[in-house]
Structure 1
Amino acid sequence: MITIRFCVAAIVALVLSACASFDRDDRGDVPIPPKLVSAMKAKGMTPQDPIMIRIHKQESELEVWKRDRTGRYALLKTYPLCRWSGKLGPKMAQGDRQAPEGFYTVNAGMLNPRSQFNLSFNLGFPNRLEKSLGWEGSALMVHGACSSSGCYAMTDDGVAEVYAVAREALKGGQAAFQVQALPFRMNSRNLALHRGDPNMPFWRNLKEGADRFNVTKQPPTVAYCGRRYAFDEPAGAMLDPMAPCPAIEGDPSISQKLADISKSDEASLQSSTPAPAMSYSDGGMHPVFREILAKSGPERLAKMTSTNVPVSRPDAALADPYEPMMTGSTQ
């Protein structure tokens, strides 16, 4: 009798363990698609190489940059954002529906493989500068689906690709990757377009970091002082965000290139006429999704938000939105 009971118990335990394996949530283990791995190889990259992410709010795009065999970072792929909420400008208050703008650092502990929006990673808002300025908010994410209350929402398949690329880079030895969340592509034309916006001093500060990356193709070191971001401080400098920035001498050749860019920006600003302030109903989405919404309605868009729709440029009209296209330049 004991033997029979033992066998029955063993069989039940085996069945239960088998059922548990069927219920395992393995979304976080999704592999990098073979086509994207091939694109990495063609660009001199491996899945283990470090990454950096850039978000352009106005254009509703997310870029994945990756270090190649030269040691510099190159653009791997651009993804359309299906939804972001709020308007151009930084997030300052809990509940303001603003998607944040700034420089953030994401480590493995900030990846969420069981997000209610498929997969996600936390941007880390507020960072140390934002906390010092009294800006508040929590759980600001990049995630799937097509809904936002202060987050950057992609398609489910799109966030799965980005999540897998980030996971493998972190497994490969990168301690954390930088996210540059920017209001728009940081060029002279856009600065001139938004010349009259009260956020312009803040945006000019963000542009310093974006310009440094464009010149060096290395994610800039980020410190905080003088109530702003500082990008030429020694790596890991723990400065007081509210105290004046110390005088630091950077690489003369890089400093000259950055000075030339700043001079060009200033000339554009002085010669431009401020555009009327932009009005928002609430946030925005990439043109490819707006087109689907206009032509086919919300039902069609809801079905497509589980399908990745890479694009080559912000105004691209895709004949076949399911056909992935790798991008080559962003400026």
Structure 2
Amino acid sequence: MAGCVSSALDVDTKGIQPIPAKLVAEMKRKGMTPSSPILVRIFKEESELEIWKRNANGKYALLKTYPMCRWSGQLGPKKKAGDRQAPEGFYHVSADRLNPNSQYYLSFNLGYPNKLEAALGYSGEALMVHGACSSSGCYAMTDEGVAEIYAVAREALKGGQTSFQVQAFPFRMTAQKMARNRNNPNYGFWTDLKKGYDSFEVTRRQPKVAYCDKRYVFDTEFAGGDPLDPLAACPPAISGTDPLVATRTERDLSTAETMASTMTGTTVHAYADGGMHPTFRKLLAASGDKALSKKTSLTKVPISRPEAALADPYSASE
């Protein structure tokens, strides 16, 4: 399969479920409203999805972190259809990418390949965040989890947000984790992603994304506007990255280099086929896939490759 495809089923009420009252109350407590803009961050290694919302101060604050039931492939970007890789990069999801008729309960399409990935010749389609606990290049959140995520996204888009940004990372991009993965072939790509990660970490504002010189460029104003060709050299910049962001990135990468030189193991974890959040993995290990299916209301779609999920090498205690 090229990705986690959707099917045209009869429309029902699952796509119009309200945001749970408890979560609305949490928004109010944090100075947010259901219509406030959102931003989503995804972390493969930790198997977590975060929803951030803009508050009354105009900056984004964390609303909720959701455990991910399943993702497939390895750490690293998706490059071709059928490789089972879940995408890594920056994506923008508009209302037309929300699917209330998904084969996997509810879903939204990340929009892979983005402009940079398409220019690099990467292939694949229908890469989603969806329900169930089955992945073929997607991020599966369980039906319960995606219902809440979908409702929050829907209301933000109805409130006037044209699209929301999704940032998909291999792991939380700390100096220690960069050091541990220093010898991975994707390290250069990850240092590029880290600049966008750091932009948000420092400013709590959505980074502006552009593409040139076969890479992402963040928070930069170019003479003549954004570059049109992701493969061409970057044009002259009028203004660049916030100095505080640049300092953080330089410091962390320097620290990572120093740490990597003293680490005994700097090779990235090898996955049998993707991962699963420890809460789900423990239940799967203790009771099997049937018990996990019952626990997470996964009655229609079987868990993908449960043996590989149990082999997930990541430990939350690291």
1:66-95 C-alpha deviation (Å, 9 max, x unpaired): 000000000000000000000000000110
Percentage of identical aligned residues: 58
Q: Quick check: which has more Rg, 1 or 2?
A: 1
1:81–1:155 CA contact under 8 A, matched in 2: yes
Give, as a single letter, the amino acid of the residue that structure 2 aligns with 1:222.
V
Which segment drifts farther, 159-168 or 240-249?
240-249
Q: TM-score, normalised by structure 1?
A: 0.83
Give, as a single letter, the amino acid of the residue that structure 2 aligns with 1:269.
E
Aligned counterpart for 2:51 among listed residues 39, 64, 67: 64
Structure 1 residue 55 corresponds to structure 2 residue 42: yes
Instruction: Sort the Cα spacing of 1:256 and 1:73 in 2 relative to 1 into closer, same or farther, 3 A.
Output: closer
Q: Superposed, which structure 2 residues align to 1:1-331 within 5 Å? A: 25-234=12-221, 237-250=226-239, 254-272=242-260, 273=263, 274-306=265-297, 315=316
Q: Structure 2, unaligned stretches of length 5 or more?
A: 1-9, 299-314
Deviation at 1:267, TM superposition (A): 2.6
Counterpart of 1:19? none
Counterpart of 2:6? none
Moved over 3 A (4+): 249-252
1:168-194 C-alpha deviation (Å, 9 max, x unpaired): 000000000000000000110110010
Residues of 2 paired with 1:112 and 1:260: CA distance?
38
Instruction: Sort the Cα spacing of 1:257 and 1:103 in 2 relative to 1 into closer, same or farther, 3 A.
Output: closer
Residues of 1 paired with 2:268 and 2:207: CA distance?
31
Residues of 2 paired with 1:231 and 1:24: CA distance?
39
Instruction: Sort the Cα spacing of 1:227 and 1:265 in 2 relative to 1 into closer, same or farther, 3 A.
Output: same
Deviation at 1:216, TM superposition (A): 1.1
Instruction: Sort the Cα spacing of 1:239 and 1:233 in 2 relative to 1 into closer, same or farther, 3 A.
Output: farther
Deviation at 1:238, TM superposition (A): 4.2
Residues of 2 paired with 1:77 and 1:260: CA distance?
25
Q: How many residues align?
A: 287
Give, as a single letter, the amino acid of the residue that structure 1 aligns with 2:134.
S
Secondary structure in 1 matching 2:183: coil
1:85–1:284 CA contact under 8 A, matched in 2: yes
1:82–1:305 CA contact under 8 A, matched in 2: no
Instruction: Sort the Cα spacing of 1:156 and 1:245 in 2 relative to 1 into closer, same or farther, 3 A.
Output: same
Residues of 2 paired with 1:140 and 1:228: CA distance?
21
1:85–1:148 CA contact under 8 A, matched in 2: yes
Residues of 2 paired with 1:215 and 1:276: CA distance?
28
Q: TM-score, normalised by structure 2?
A: 0.86
2:221–2:240 CA contact under 8 A, matched in 1: no
Residues of 1 paired with 2:244 and 2:54: CA distance?
25
Secondary structure in 2 matching 1:161: helix
Counterpart of 2:309? none
Secondary structure in 2 matching 1:93: coil
Q: Structure 1, unaligned stretches of length 5 or more?
A: 1-22, 308-313, 317-331
1:183-242 C-alpha deviation (Å, 9 max, x unpaired): 000110110010110000000000000100111111111110000001023397243100
Give, as a single letter, the amino acid of the residue that structure 2 aligns with 1:264.
D
Residues of 1 paired with 2:49 and 2:65: CA distance?
6
Deviation at 1:259, TM superposition (A): 2.2
Cα RMSD, aligned residues only? 1.8
Give, as a single letter, the amino acid of the residue that structure 1 aligns with 2:228.
L
Residues of 2 paired with 1:260 and 1:116: CA distance?
42
